[in-house]
Structure formats: C-alpha cells, structure tokens
Chain A
Amino acid sequence: MSSSSSRAIGDFLGEAEEIIENLNNDLIVLDDCAAEGSCDPDLLNRIFRGAHSLKGLAGMFGFDDISSLAHHLENLLDHLRLGKVPLTNGLVQLLSEGFETLSRLVEGKGENPDFTFDVSAMRQRVEQFLVGGSDEEADPEMDRIDPEILAVLTEFEEHRLRENLKHRLYLFKIKTDFDLATFDQDLAVLTDLLKKEGEVISTLPLSADLTDRIAFQLLFGTNLPEGELGVLVGPGLAVENLLPPSEPPSPSREMILEGEPPAASGREVTAENAPAMETSARSISRTVRVDIDKLDLLMNVVGELVLAKAAIGRVCEKLKGEGGNELGTELQKATRVLERRLEELQKGVMEVRMVPVAQLFDKMNRIVRKVASERNKRIALEIQGADTELDKLIVEDLSDPLMHIIRNAIDHGIEPPEDRRAQGKSEKGLICLSAAQKGNHVVIEVRDDGRGIDPEKVRRKAVERGLIPETAKLSREQVYDLLFMPGFSTAETVSDLSGRGVGMDVVKNNIALLSGMIEMESEVGVGTSIAITLPITLAIIKALIIRVCDKIYAIPINSVMETMMVETSSVRTIERKEVIELRDSTLPLLWLGDVFQLSDRGNRRARFFVAVVGFAEKKIGIVVDELLGQQDVVIKSLGESLAFVRGIAGAADLGNQKTILVLDVGGLMSETLRGDSAFFA
C-alpha cells in the first residue's frame, strides 16, 4: 500500500472514530429523550448525519462492512427523524450496539485494513425495527406553502415543516441580513432566541444585492402570534405569516417534538443589538490531528536533548574544576541559554500532549449506562472537573483501570433498586466521577453511594482463601488492601463484566506503572470512594538520584518532600515498625536495602540518609546510603516481563548511557504504612 493511501486511511480512521465518539455522546442524550418521550429534532438529525457521513466515507475506502452497517443504521435513523418509527429505549439500545460494532470494525482496521467480521446479524436486527414503519401521510396544509420555499428543503426539513403544521399554530418567514464577517454568530444568536419559542425549520441564504452583507430567510414554526414574535426579534426584521391559522389555537403541545425548555434567562438579544464579536474561527478549524506516536517521538527527542544538556553541564563542571578557563566560562553561559530554551521546548511539547479528561469521562458515561442497563440498576453519573488536563498517554492508560473501578462500583457497590428503596435511599444510585489538579498531581475520584465495603465480609473471604490467618487482626485500611491482592474477589458470582479476569490488583499495578497511587475509603451503607493520584505528565521527570549499596535508583522529585541525615541512635521501634521523630510526628522508615535484598542489616553505619516521600498527609522515610543529587530523567517503559516488579515503577535513562530503576513511591508507601511483611518475602 502506498504511503499516501495509508495516510488517507489513517485520516479516515481518525475521522471515523471522532464521528462514532460524537454519535455515542448524542446517543446518551437521545436515551434520556426516549425516557421522557420528547426530543430535539436537531439532535436526531445530527445523529442521522453522523451515520450518513460514516457510510459515505467508508464507501470511499471500500470498507463495505462499515458502509453497509452504517447504511442500515442511517436508514433506521432516517425513519426515526422522519417520525416513521417511534423513539424507544430499545431502539436507542440497538443504535448503541450498532455504533459499538462500527467502532470495533474501525478499531480493527486500524490494526489491519483487511480486518472484518460478519455484521449481517446486526444488520438484520436493525431491519426488524424498520418493519411496520408507516409512511408519512399527505398534509393538505402543505399545498398552501409556496413551492419555492419547498424547493430548497431537504426531505428531513420537509418532514419538520409537516410536523410544525400539525402541531404549531403559525409558520413565519423571517428575513434579515448580517455583516458578512460575523453572520454566523449573529445568526446563531437569532436562532437560539427563536428556538426558545419554536423551531427554525430552515435557513436559506438569499442572493440580495448587498456588499459586505448577507441576507437570510428563516422558516420558523411557533405558537407565538405575529405581534409577540415581532417583540421577540425586535424591529428591523421582516416577519411574514405564511399560514394565518384557520382554526382556533389548540392548547395541546404535548405531541410536539420539543427542544430544550426555554432557558430561565429572558435576555432579549436581537440581531440588531447582538454583541459584536470578532470574525469567527468557530467553523474554520485551527486544530490538527496528530498521531500520538509522533508526539512520543518528539518527547523522546526532547528527552535525549535534556540528557545531552546534562552531559554538557558535566563538561562545564569539569572545566571549572580544572581552574579558570575562558572557554569554560563561555561554554557555561551558552549552556544556560540552551537550558532555558530547552525548558521552553520541553514545556511546549508537554503542553501539546495535555488533553482534558472529558473524553475519558464521556467514555465512562457510556459504560455506566451500558452496564447499569445490563444489570438492571438505575444509576446517575455526576461528572466534575472534566476540563482537568493530563498527559494524553496517561489518559489512555487510565481508561482500563477506571473502567474496571466503575464496573465494580455498579456491580458490587450500587444496590438493586428494591434494596435501595428498602434502605430509604433513592432508587437511582449515584456515581460521582471527578478530577482535580493538586500541584503536580491530578486526583481522579470515583465515588458511589452504594452499600459500601463490609470489612468483616472481606476478612472472612480472605481467611477462606488462605490469604490471612484466622486470627489476624487487621485495621480497616489493611482490610481494604486485601481487595488489591491478586485473585481476590468478594462477589458471590463473578459477573461477566467486572470479572473479566482482571482484579483490583491489576488495576493497582496499572496505576503504579503510571507512577500513581490508589486509595480507598468506604462506609457500610453509605458508599465507597476510590481516589487515584497521578502525576500530570510522565515522560520527563525531575528525580532524586540515590544510592543503596552499589545500586543507583531514582525517586520522582514531585513525591520527595525533604531529605535529611539521621543518626542510627535516633531510630525507635513502635509496634515492630522502625520510626524516627520528625517535628512532633513519627515517620515510618523503609530500608531500601531490605526491600531489594541488597544489604545485610548487620553492618549499619552510625548515620544514614533519609528521603521523606509522600502525598499530602501520608509520608514515609526511605533509607538510603547516599543522596547523589537531582536530575532530569527520561522515563522508559520496562517492558511486559518486568511490568509488575514490586517497588519499581519504571526505568529511566541517566544520560551517560546508564539505565536506572525508578521507585514506585505510591506502592512502597502503602506497603510500608500497612506494615505488610509479605512485601519483603
């Protein structure tokens, strides 16, 4: 395949994913519409257009599987928007499955353009929905409409016109003109205003003889009499009643497919006093779609540059050490300039990689709906902080763990409606998904108002599984930690959703790979909250380089609070844990040499170094032999085989061709704070 055609396929896949993403988002709203029994025609038309575009695009690339399924879905959506089939939750469910099938095909073709599977069963199900659809009956009122107006209406717009004639009292032709530079915003202001009182059926640009201005003729269906409409839109707009009502006003409006209810704010904005805005960039795209691999490559190059800069820095130091050398001073100056520019470059590349978590949250929204309907639970999802930004790579890798946590919340957390009613809770369970930036970290929290985690039940299960002895006395936190142990599942039956062979232990490991930390809080009967703390970006980090015995490690600097030298004599033992006093509090110590079985505790020196690490209230002291200083390091993946080594989050390149291991601070901390002896086994 030529590179240009493979790029074209790449474009197609990108756009197809975007279309499906938008379709899915619109479907969520449509689902609510189906429940409420009324729907915004614009929404229906948008969904139809999405399927329609996908069909056309896929056809151009010869992807007949996508094209044919999209065609069937489009057909169904066409019937739906033309009112030939009723909008039901079942239909929305079918559409959702259809879009998911499309998404799977698109994803598969991303791997291999020849990827396909049989979609005929799906197509048949769509066809079954079309059976019994009724054709639109002719409406004598239509004959009263000027054929010139009808000539520019698409089939859908004609249908909307008919609907308006059936259910609304008046049909107006509104003529107006705007400045060519700002007409799209001006028109949007007018349309938004009109939409509160009816439906804008079509927008026809007129070929009036105007320079720098453009005229439009809107077709508007409403129950507002002409006088009131005139007040609404203000003077200067020509309003013409196309169909003076022949019957007295009918009070019934319930049959109308209605948009959003009129907004509370009654601010009158007319085309005349509309705020002057700058020329729109809304429709002219200012963004480019970039392959994440290309960004990774850029990031890696920047990383290498940072390391090269460090090497030059070392040469500078060396020259300085050898005594006053003019060249040395010049080199140092040049290095500083390089350093500053490099920082800017690094920051720039990092910013490009930052994306809001909104997309991820939208995906979770769909999962909540899907899983909830499959498990017959009613759940509302509340989303907060969707505009919080994270490295694109982290967002991607977060998807699976987050999905798992949410599935768990639905499966095991939220009770069935009848149980909730019995407990005096609202039948509809609540899951709250939030993101917030805290310094160099982002905290993502999943909270539910379900049954909570019963520590006694978890303990019993752990005893049954032989994970802990019968007599073990565990704190609440220690009990929660059991949930993160491999193979632990409290569900009576493993559900096909949560139990995809992935346990919370994998979730925890995945989070650790992102240098993150996971914490759980729960109260029986009230709910559970799981918080994931993540660094904002991964690729290049500042690290504290330390030595233990003859091994060098890196500790991400954003988790280091301070470093200190400690006399061995000041170490005390409390509840079999070694601690030191640190400003009125006790700091648990972790001997890194023990963790990695490097040193013999016998030959301890009189003093040692401690790096105090932690997030917020929780901290521990990591005992090391030497602090070697701060440095930028480029994080590299460890690869599959080493992915789950405890205590290690990844590998980093030091620049002098040395690779060192980066500590998993979150993991080490929870193990230490828990006092888990199994960790050292």
Chain B
Amino acid sequence: MAKKILVTEDSSTMRALIGSTIAAIGDYEIVEAANGFEALRILPREKVDMVLTDINMPDINGLELVSFIRGNANYKHLPLVIISTEGSERDRLKGLDLGADAYLVKPFAPEELQQLIRKFLG
C-alpha cells in the first residue's frame, strides 16, 4: 500500500508543489491540510506515515503541531519535517528541540525534499 504523507501548509500552490515533487519519486499518497486544525482532524482518521508542516499558519502554529504529535503515543514515532521560509531560524530550531526530525527551508530544490522522503519512508 502506498505510504501516506500529511502535508500541512496554508498555501494551496505550495501544497500542490510539494505533492507533485513527491509524486515524481514514487507511489506516495498525499493528504493535504490547509491549517493546523485540519491536521488535527486528519491525524486520528487517516493512518499517515509521515508529516510535513509549515510553521507560520493561522490557528495553531507548526511548533504546536510538532509538540502535539511528539506528545501523543499514536503519532510520536512519525517522521516529521518542518518546511518553512527562510528568516524563521529561531522557530525552526525550536521545532527541532520539540522533536522534529529535519527541516527544509523554502525555497528548496525538489531533490532536497525527495531525499528526505526517501530517507524516512524508503
């Protein structure tokens, strides 16, 4: 079965771009969340295998999402990558402190993302 990746990102263009970048390297199913709340609702419903999240979002921020995932027995093992725009270094480091596995800075090259997906999902 295709591995599921949850992409939490408020820009629809960015979600589509991330989706097509991942689709280019294999059979992955992308589940999109336009904000943190949607991600919270999707997590218990869909059995996702990996989470990508932006930091600057309305309602709950990406750090809060990371903290939620790492604190929950059901999700704490999930590979988690923060994708954020340059300039939020402090927030990114906080993300790593909270337990994110890696981060990617926008703009990134497609290969960078693809490499991370391969690394965590094989």
Q: Give the interface of A toward B (CB within 8 A).
A: 4, 8, 11-12, 14-15, 46, 49, 52-53, 55-57, 59-60, 62, 67, 71, 74-75, 78, 151-155, 157, 180, 183-184, 202-207, 209, 214, 283-285
Q: With an 8 A cutoff between CB atoms, is B114 at the interface?
A: no
Closest 5 CB pairs of A and B: A59-B107, A207-B72, A207-B71, A56-B85, A56-B106
**Subset of 29 A-B contacts with CB under 8 Å:** A8-B13, A8-B17, A11-B12, A12-B13, A49-B56, A53-B11, A53-B14, A55-B85, A56-B84, A56-B85, A59-B85, A59-B106, A60-B14, A60-B107, A67-B107, A78-B87, A154-B55, A155-B88, A183-B40, A184-B37, A202-B61, A203-B64, A204-B64, A204-B67, A205-B40, A207-B72, A283-B37, A284-B38, A285-B34
Closest to B14 in A: A57
Q: A11-B13, A184-B37 are in contact. Are A74 and B64 (CB under 8 A)?
A: no
B98 in the interface (beta carbon within 8 A) = yes
- CB atoms of B68 and A184 under 8 A apart: no
Partner-A contacts on B (CB < 8 A): 10-14, 16-17, 20, 34-38, 40-41, 44, 55-61, 63-69, 71-73, 84-88, 90-91, 94, 97-98, 106-108
Q: How far is the CB of B82 from chain A (nearest CB, A)?
A: 12
Which residues of the other chain, B, contact A214 by a CB distance below 8 angstroms? 40
Evaluate contact between A155 and B44: CB separation under 8 angstroms.
no
| Contact A205 B65, CB 8 Å, known A56-B107, A155-B88 | yes
Q: Chain A binding site: helix, strand, loop or mixed by DSSP?
A: helix
Contacts A11-B16, A46-B58, A206-B71 supplied; 16 other A-B pairs, CB < 8 Å: A8-B16, A52-B85, A53-B10, A53-B85, A55-B85, A56-B84, A57-B13, A151-B97, A151-B98, A152-B66, A180-B44, A202-B61, A205-B60, A206-B68, A207-B69, A285-B12
B77: min CB distance to chain A, Å: 13
CB pair A152 B34 closer than 8 Å: no
Nearest to A148 among chain B residues (CB) is B67
**A202–B64 CB distance below 8 A:** yes
Query: Quick check: B59 and A184 within 8 Å, CB to CB?
Result: yes
* Alpha-carbon distance A202/B57, docked complex (angstroms): 12
From A8, A151, A207, give the contact of B68 (CB < 8 A): A207
Q: Is there contact, CB below 8 Å, between B56 and A52?
A: yes
Within the complex, what minimum Cβ distance (angstroms) separates B66 from chain A?
Answer: 8
Docked complex Cα distance between A430 and B36 (Å): 42
User: Which residues from chain B contact A202 at a C-beta distance below 8 Å?
Assistant: 61, 64
Q: Are B37 and A154 in contact (CB under 8 A)?
A: no
What is the chain B residue whose CB lies nearest that of A209? Answer: B73
Q: How far is the CB of A75 from chain B (nearest CB, A)?
A: 7
Please tell me if the beta carbons of B68 and A205 are within 8 angstroms of each other in the complex. yes
How many whole Å from B24's CB to the nearest CB in chain A? Answer: 11
Q: Report how far A228 CA is from B40 CA in the complex, Å.
A: 31
Q: Are B40 and A56 in contact (CB under 8 A)?
A: no
Give the residues in chain A near B10, CB-CB below 8 Å: 49, 53
Does A204 contact B60, Cβ atoms closer than 8 Å? Answer: yes
Residue of A whose beta carbon sits closest to that of B110:
A60
Closest to A16 in B: B13
Bound-complex Cα distance A204 to B106 (A): 25
A671 to B88, CA, bound (A): 64
Which of A53, A151, A203, A204 is in CB contact (< 8 Å) with B94? Answer: A151
Contacting pair B64 A283 (CB below 8 A): no
A278 nearest CB across to chain B (Å): 14
Contact partner, A203, options B17, B34, B44, B59, Cβ 8 Å: B59
**Which residues of chain B have C-beta atoms less than 8 A from A155's C-beta?**
88, 90-91
The residues of B that contact A283 with a CB separation of less than 8 Å are: 34-35, 37-38
Alpha-carbon gap, A130 to B102, bound state (A): 32
Instruction: Give the shortest distance, in Å, between A658 (CB) and chain B (any CB).
Output: 45
* Residue in chain B with minimal CB distance to A53: B11
Taking the closest CB of chain A, its distance from the CB of B118, in whole angstroms, is 20
Determine the chain A residues whose CB is within 8 A of the CB of B71 once the complex forms. 206-207
Given contacts A151-B97, A204-B68, A207-B72, contact A15 B13 (CB under 8 A): yes
Determine the chain A residues whose CB is within 8 A of the CB of B108 once the complex forms: 60
- Which residues from A are CB-within-8-Å of B60? 203-205
Give Cα A33–Cα B26 distance, bound, in whole angstroms. 50
User: CB-CB < 8 A to A8: which residues of B?
Assistant: 13, 16-17, 20
Closest Cβ neighbor of A71 among chain B residues: B87
Instruction: Please name the residue on chain A nearest to B61 by beta carbon.
Output: A154
Bound Cα distance from A74 to B87, whole angstroms: 9
B98's partner among A12, A71, A152, A180 (CB-CB below 8 A) is A152
Chain A positions within 8 Å of B94 at CB level: 151-152, 154
For B17, list chain A residues within 8 Å (CB).
8, 60
Task: Choose among B11, B16, B55, B86 the residue with the greatest number of A CB atoms under 10 Å from its CB.
Answer: B11
Interface-central residue, B36, B38, B85, by most chain A CB under 10 Å: B85
A12–B11 Cα gap in the complex (Å)? 9
Residues on B with C-beta less than 8 A from A284 are: 34, 38
Q: How far is the CB of B32 from chain A (nearest CB, A)?
A: 10
CA of A54 to CA of B99, assembled, Å: 28
Say how far B19's CB is from chain A's closest CB, in angstroms. Answer: 11
